[in-house]
Structure 1
Amino acid sequence: MNFLTTGPPSTTGTPPTTEVPSTAGAPATVAVVGIGADGWSGLTPAARAAIGAAGVLFGGRRQLAMVPAELPVDRIAWPSPMLPALPDLLATHADRRICVLASGDPMWFGVGARIADLLGPDRLTVYPHPSSISLACARLGWAVERTTVVSAVGRRLDRVRRALHPGRNLLVLSADAGTPAALAAVFTEAGFGASELTVLESVGGPDEGRVTGVAAGWAHPPGAALNLVGVRVAAAPETRVLSTVPGLPDDAFQHDGALTKREARALALSRLAPLPGELLWDVGAGSGSVAVEWMRTDPSCRAVAVESRPDRADRIEANAGALGVPDLVVVRGAAPAVLADLPRPDAVFVGGGVTVSGLVDAAWAALPAGGRLVAHAVTIEGERVLTEQAARRGGDLTRLGVERAGPLGGFTGWRPARPLVQWAAVKRAAPA
């Protein structure tokens, strides 16, 4: 399992840091040419010249077929999966002039950004083509900067659930011809069946097509495999619309009682302070509510939920899918033992198990300077552990008491919830 694999870059924020393989022996420079559905005829003279000067041409089979057959260049189709093989492919052909074909704009959901990560931006020359996203917005009359983009290519379609907000314009990059119907089903199941879907097929090409319908009544048969879907998001009157601000209602999650309650969860996330691209460990995750809400704050935020009970781990996965963050990684095992194999976190939440010997110490040790740790306790024994940690490491102790109104005979009275103690601390750099 690769904990550092992430989704595509979001329309806002910075992409997450990824592990970069060695590129020893990689080529000095690489040309990256964006090509659209209009093929060779849509390329600029400079882009055509870059392809003509290459000794080896990488690309998808569809893209390679767009290059005139008489052009004397060795063509190599991408293997599947492509990204893990990329460093070796570049190194193997390092003594040749390499050109890479990419769909549309190579730096927008494209291989160009990955090559830049591997080689550095000074070692590639990019010849962009209008992206399918720009072309789709032009067809639909949408402002690109006000359009949310979600990719379903190689990813679970549940990712769109995070973006379900009435009035939003959403573009979904389809995996295949079946994506529009699957997308319509997701919208309908989530209570957004009134959303209008427009399927743009082979956009920019000579056989461009367009089909429009409503999600709840979607009956169009599958069309071209190369398509993307524009959605004007609309909700039924009774649909609950969930914010991305932390503090979702408790009943938004499946749980068996092992849930960080709404008020405590919002307080914890305010101290965990998620930033784009950062990684959270949610240890003793229960229902995974903190990890889910961490990831909902920004599309590039990542989380690992650690849970020893299989039934709860299953619920975490279900909650992550239902709330639009299916990329949440669930690690089934007992902490602190399983923590040693996880990538280094930017923040750690310990919602259960603070009294387990060595758990809080292991979580603290894993943090870099500037990392944040938040831990909760509802027992006297847990409170003692957190008090001792605060005395050793600093930070803040907070005691949270919440009372909710409820029936009391024929009247209404206050019902106090079990008090909770929170320790929140930021790890400081060791003195020089």
Structure 2
Amino acid sequence: MPFDIKDIAHAVEAAAVMGLLPTRPQLLALGEPTHGEDMLLDLRNGLFRQLVEQEGYRTIAIESDCMMGLVVDDYVTTGTGTLDEVMECGFSHGWGTSAANRELVRWMRDFNADRPASEQLHFAGFDGPLEMTAAASPRQSLTALHSYLAAQVDADLLPCTRETLDRLLGADDRWTQPGAMLAPARSVGQSAEAGRLRLLADDLVALLDEQTPHLITATSRDAWDRARLYGRTATGLLRYHSWIADTSPARMTRLISIRDQMMAHNLLAIAERGPALVHAHNAHLQREQSSMRMGGELLAWWSAGALVNARLGEEYAFVATALGTIRHHGVDTPPADTVEGLLYALPENHYVIDAPRLATALGDKRPAPRVSPWFGYAPLDPAHLADSDGMVFVKDVLRS
């Protein structure tokens, strides 16, 4: 019987996504092949809303600063602050200006308004405090961890005082110089002070772990869990800054790898708290090794999704997003001999695709990879079609 692609194409609904999976995974990740398109985020919002209401997911995590995300979580769970303040201060990478992200936060707050704390929906950023050209100072996370411990354990157990941390950290602008990304000598990441801070951060994280029974009883599991986030962030940032200052050929690969490792650690911690929905670029969530060209060099690393999948197995599911056109960025109708071109022949604009079945139907005659005319869009890799649990296909991405 000839293969009809309509047989594996379904409406973008929670039931269609869950129908592709053997069980409800602890982490259900939805990727996107480009950033900054509210049409894709609106589609995400609708799908995630159904998954929350119908499948009981209780955390939504996106590719944004994990520390800034605490501001959003406080707002959606307790109403702290205003929506305007949260959109300005709760997102990195400029995501706070997105109308779709604003609508997501507004809906999450409304969802929680009449629910007890045990049934509320939480928000999380799972990226590190990192931008493309610079990384944050470790001050916020490191001092927050110290303050949490100082309030609950004997002073003699602390490896240092707050004053020592402040002295070693110095001014924050020492850590955030954009020029250091291109000129390692300008970074403080391998200074004597930074080396000392890495040891102190390690001791503070160890103390947090050692005192777990007392700390959970004296504060709460949520407060202890937030302190763990401070510790992961501080140690990750200090490691990242150390590699910013490095001059070896492995520098850029290590920086990209550390970022995804920080993402993975945050996702694993989120999964411990209950079923969660995740949204980020496909390259951060896919199971196969990620790669990109930077300055003519091909960099390869294991994504957060690959790392999490290695730990969680079937408790991690990944649904990629592929698309046909983004005409306002010069991405026009895909060639018919690509996967995107095959899907573009479908009549509706949005579908959930059974990617493993599509891969089986195509067999060894996989289409050639699509070539993107715009650096901001990463086409689907047909060689890894079966490595995702499903696919959302958007025929035409329209400017908002």
Report the TM-score, using the length of structure 1 for normalisation: 0.25
Q: In proportion to residue count, which structure has more strand?
A: 1
Q: Which has more radius of gyration?
A: 1
Report the TM-score, using the length of structure 2 for normalisation: 0.26
